[in-house]
Structure 1
Amino acid sequence: MYPLPDGLFAARNQWYIAAWSEEVTREPMERWILDEPVALYRTENGKPVALEGRCPHRSFPLGRSRIVGDDIQCGYHGITFRPDGSCAAIPSQSAVPAACRVRSYPIVEQWRWLWIWMGDPALADESLIPSVDELGLGDGDHLIVSGGYNLVGGRYMLLHDNLFDLTHVGYLHMPSFGSGGGAQDTVPEVKTGPNWVSSVYTQRNVDIPDFFSRFLNFSGKVDRVQGLKLFLPCLHVGGTQISLPQKADGTPGELLGSLRVYHAVTPATRHSTNYFFAAGQSWSSDRGVSQQLFDYQKNRVIPEDIMASEYTEEMIQKSRLTSEVLVRADAVCVTGRRMFEKMIHDEMTFDPVERALTALG
């Protein structure tokens, strides 16, 4: 499904971010993930549960039902399911048909995220989740504020494309970042690993962007290095470093401040996406500064990215777009797309069910 080749949607045997930890409580909630409804809640001892969110009786949403002890009870006819997906009770009868059950998805709580595995539970290896140290969350250098969430009306690869190509920052984000906001004249350095792809944009001796000038209380020339690293399939980690210009001998200038951002992109349906966001900074130990920074990006910057993705989705659907012109700055975008394609193809090679679902999709 464009911008991936026809017939490709998303890999299922991967860990995706399903929710912020604080979102999931004793009150059940519904979230669509990989074109499936998922009911999320916590047991009495606080353990997170993720169940197929469709009652097998009349398809009432379990995420809009109620919790009874550690079980979830359908809000339509009272059929109750345990955390493992088995049926605990049917009010009108004592016998429980074998077909009366729902899927239970592996779910792991790490840092402030809940990670879900939508594929074969036998393959759900928790060691595949990026560690706190890998994500830079254990270094203590940045004070991170989390909790940003939006349901975006566009296919998930459009948001990945947006995060792969940061040359858009100086244009799309001109209203929020102001002048000098992006790496619009810079071709990124691209690196890859077994499960990741990264981009780095370096600008030397440029005017400090208005956005950083306000937060750092500095004006003048700076060196700016920005970029993102995608841990497949869903989490982009990176940010921007602002330093005084390097010296004539190549010695780096003094670091003025560093912004770190976390963007998680989890497919909801084939034409919508769960988008999670967190951000922090290194130049102040005052959490209020990080909160101000987070709020500004949440209320001003992120809506611009969402706007671009939703406008593009609308254009694709109305014009039936299936092709595009690529430019030099798309190097990381093309690399990332190919990695997604390989990930999906590798899964389909040994999963006949996924092949059938893809053919129907």
Structure 2
Amino acid sequence: MSYKSEYIKARKRKIIILLALIVFLSLPASAGLTAVTSGPQTIAKADTVTLTGTDALNGSVTLWIVGRNYFDTKTATPDKKGNYTFVIKPEESNKFSSGEYAFLIQDPGADKIFEIAPLLWSDGIRIADQGKAITNIGQKSSFPADIGPVAAIILNISGQTGVDDIFTPYYFYVEEPYMRFNRVSESDSGKLPDQTTGEAILITGITNVGPENLLQVEIRNATSSDLITSQTIPVESGTNTNQWIYSLDAPGLPAGSYIVTISEQKYTTTGNASALLTILEYRIAGTTTFSSLQPELPAGGETLYGVILPLIISFAALVIIGIIMLASLRK
């Protein structure tokens, strides 16, 4: 192999290494993004959303939030190591609508200047390149539940010649808060398994709200609606969905029917569920109560029995008195 061929190969290797280095230095600011949401890829309305990123070495970072009936941008200034954080507070996420939302992390690139920016006009949201409007993505009220096509327009503009802004998209589904009970009867909708007096009560369920939330459990008499007991419980993180556990130590509840309601404390429009719980009287197997040994009377039998018995006794007393008087006369 000639010296010239070796030289050409060596130059190619250097060029490849140089290009790799350039790519590495211009990695998007969200290369190390960590998202803390209500659940995996899910945001429940009125929950806090935290996005933490690394490697933001080109100055400020902008977050675009695009979703059904919603559009907003936020800017964060990274620290000296390139770490940055965006926090969407409950009062903000409460404005989200159900559907898919795009979270676009925008890095200004090596020139540290944002070329791509939104222009909020009365007829819609226009996307501009260095101040010049390129396209109109419409009004936020017209955004579909599937936000992918709208986000794609923004991402495609960032690929134009002369633009070194780097967009990295992340997608999350926004849901209304919900609470659900485990082991609810399918044949008798909304009914929990019967439990017994004298025993501890354990009720579990799932929810899509985040672990930072507290849930309120109330147990009321099913007939009078009187509050029997209430308790605040935490949300526990789960693999696919979060869960909650409610327990009441022995002796539990007296025999009767109860309505159990669980709800999120800070969000009352939705996000609650109720179920019927029946507590049965504890009874040792093979035993019977005194009442079970009594003969059953027909309807109204107790009243009839209470009237006839005194009459029978009175009649018997008269007969006895008559016999005594008759015996006395014969003497």
Larger Rg: 2
Q: Which has the higher contact order (CA 8 A, sep 6+)?
A: 1
More helix by share: 1
